[in-house]
Amino acid sequence: MPIKQKYDAVAARKYQGGDGTEKTQWVNVGRAVEWDDGGIEIELTSVPVGVWWNGKIKLFKPKSNNQAQGAQRQAQGSQNQAVDF
């Protein structure tokens, strides 16, 4: 059965930023696959257990490698060390 679409499965963790505004951290909890017959299969690699989790998981189309690396560099902030895996 061919794959129609792949997704990242994430949970939203709300927190208060340093400037007092509410922000969202997306915690990766697995992945999902939509099959050409319309079925969706979800594989959880972790399950949030914090009091912050509202029981909901959101599916996003995966970012390309370039987008993911850019987001990772942004998250590192002022750290200028590149780490290749």
Q: Model confidence over 15-57: pLDDT tens digits?
A: 999 999 999 999 999 999 999 999 999 999 999 998 999 999 9
Residue 66 binned pLDDT confidence (cut-offs 50, 70, 90):
low
Domain count, the chain: 1
pLDDT at 3 exceeding the cut of 70: yes
Are 14 and 24 in contact, with CB atoms under 8 Å apart?
yes
Are 16 and 34 in contact, with CB atoms under 8 Å apart?
no
User: Of 66 and 44, which is predicted with more confidence?
Assistant: 44
Please state the φ and ψ torsions of residue 75, each to the nearest 5 degrees: -70, -30
User: Containing domain of residue 10, as a range?
Assistant: 3-75
In a domain, 42, yes or no: yes
In a domain, 85, yes or no: no
